[in-house]
A and B are shown apart, each in its own frame.
Chain A
Amino acid sequence: MANRYKSKLTWADVTPEHMFLNRRGFMAGSAAFAAGSIAAPALAATSQYSTDAEPNTFEEITTYNNFYEFGTGKTDPSEYAHALTTSPWAVEIDGMVDKPGSYSFEDIMSQMTIEERIYRFRCVEAWSMVIPWNGFELADLLNLAGIQSSAKYVSFETVLRPDEMWGQKRSFIPWPYREGLRLDEAMHPLTIMATGIYGKDIPNQNGAPLRLVVPWKYGFKSIKSIVKITLTDTQPEASWNMIQPREYGFYSNVNPNVDHPRWSQASERQIGGGLLAKRVPTLMFNGYEEEVAGLYENMDLKANF
């Protein structure tokens, strides 16, 4: 089901340097290639969804993180996340699905097509990166569990292990961290579950072994180290929204016209540009307007921020 979407980008836009594949993804990719499937371009590793912007370095992506389970400093996660055990790992999928249950990570990976998606990533704190993720479309995982017609939302939970995640011993966030999407957002082909970066298994500080990536929303929506996915008909709780509903809305779509109450969202600092990193204007839906604006037709984005 990968690459079901077409965009303006052509194969001429593909950067050959990024011929990285997740080790696990390589298996899936070669299988698809052998079958002569349309998923074969996964071998070339760059999706038509990918931006042609220059990705940040692996070091930048893995040493500058917000993952408060490991501390609130930007370098805390890279320092402390090694304590997290990511194998064995299972994701509980429940709620309005045909096949509820515990899905082991290996089981999930054996059924998914891994591809590379180079996405812009915009933090609510007004900085941004470009990240070459490896992963699969969330839609494929949800379809595996069978979505019932009554489902309207998807909720996610991060693993709760205070012994391995010392930040969870402090109560500035009601743990576990949780997030949610509307079902149509969750099923959108841009929405992926990332399992790798630069073709390597995703490091713990970036949300191992699997994390959500919703590139048109602020980064905190892209919940990490997921152990629970629930299909529901009521709008799920979302951690930042629970703490500060005035500052962090349920939707949290990147929007340069709706400022955070304490800072402007009109521009962003691109990480990796050094001391004089250029501040660039923030794009509506983080540059994915053409792909996702349709999801929010007739919606007041100022009221539903």
Chain B
Amino acid sequence: MSHVLTKAERINAALRPIPKWVIYVIGALPGLYIMAGVGLALTGTYDLFGGRLGVDPAKTIEHWLGELALQFFIATMLIRVLRDFFKLKLIKFRRALGHLTFFYIVLHLTVYLWLDLQWGWSQIWNDILKRPYITIGMAGFVLLIPVMATSNDSAIRKYGPKVWQNLHKLTYPALLLGGLHYVMLQRIWDVESLIYLAVVCTLLLLRGKALLPKFH
């Protein structure tokens, strides 16, 4: 009895030998490139971006990093859906993508606090408390802090799979907040950000009841 490999099985077999660090390295490249570019721009040495920063560079970088964060977040959350619906086994790469998501969110937040608001704490607090899209973005970030802190094997052993899984379901509201954050900062119903939000909502709907925590 010869078993004919399905397309999914062939993809799984092809991906199996790829080590996780490859994902970290490739995934971090855009961020490292941006950081290097910012460093060079600040010292006035070289324009790594070939003029693409435009005349409002802080906003451009903030936007690039925010979009990268959302893209990595969606990629991370897509892995479970790809397994459920297409039998693709990418789970071994998920943690790397999750860590990269957090990496880009931290960079995005840093640029907002540093280049955009220039550590003006009174305005930062005002923004967080009074601007709905900032409040929402911040709330999403805060939800991800415990997730990031327990995104390792020893945390799974320490808390047990059930508690750990419930804790990591915080990623779902965080993803929704991230999508809303992007839509709300636009002055109009911006098509691109609405597409991201549609993808996010689809991902959440596909997970269905699994979004809710389990208590027994």
Residues of A within 8 A of B (CB): 56, 59-60, 63-64, 68, 72, 74-75, 125, 127, 170, 172-173, 243, 259, 261-264, 266-267, 269, 271-272, 274-279
Total A-B residue contacts, Cβ distance less than 8 Å: 72
Q: Which of B56, B127, B188, B189 contacts A263 (CB 8 A)?
A: B127
Distance between B83 CB and nearest chain A CB, rounded to angstroms:
37
When distances are taken between beta carbons in the complex, the residues of chain A under 8 Å from B61 are 275
When distances are taken between beta carbons in the complex, the residues of chain A under 8 Å from B127 are 263-264
Contacts A264-B123, A264-B126 hold; do A275 and B188 have CB atoms under 8 A apart? no
When distances are taken between beta carbons in the complex, the residues of chain A under 8 Å from B123 are 264, 266-267, 279
CA distance A278 to B57 in the complex (A): 12
Distance between B52 CB and nearest chain A CB, rounded to angstroms:
9
CA distance A267 to B191 in the complex (A): 29
Question: Could you tell me if B55 and A269 are in contact, using CB atoms closer than 8 angstroms?
Answer: no
When distances are taken between beta carbons in the complex, the residues of chain A under 8 Å from B141 are none
Question: Could you tell me if B131 and A275 are in contact, using CB atoms closer than 8 angstroms?
Answer: no
Q: Which residue of A lies closest to B126 (CB)?
A: A264
Distance between A126 CB and nearest chain B CB, rounded to angstroms:
10
When distances are taken between beta carbons in the complex, the residues of chain A under 8 Å from B187 are 72, 125
Question: Could you tell me if A262 and B131 are in contact, using CB atoms closer than 8 angstroms?
Answer: yes
Q: Bin chain B's interface residue count.
A: 20 to 34
Q: Is the interface of B mostly helix, strand, loop or mixed?
A: helix
CA distance A125 to B59 in the complex (A): 11
A-B residue pairs in contact (CB < 8 Å), sample of 22: A60-B55, A64-B56, A72-B188, A75-B54, A125-B187, A172-B189, A262-B133, A262-B185, A264-B123, A264-B126, A264-B127, A264-B131, A266-B126, A269-B116, A271-B55, A271-B56, A272-B55, A274-B57, A275-B42, A275-B115, A277-B58, A279-B118
- Residues 42-71 of B at the A interface (beta carbon under 8 Å): 42, 53-59, 61
Distance between A124 CB and nearest chain B CB, rounded to angstroms:
8
B158 within 8 A of A: no
CA distance A170 to B189 in the complex (A): 11
Q: Which residue of A lies closest to B38 (CB)?
A: A275
When distances are taken between beta carbons in the complex, the residues of chain B under 8 Å from A261 are 132
Q: Which of B59, B115, B120, B186 contacts A276 (CB 8 A)?
A: B115
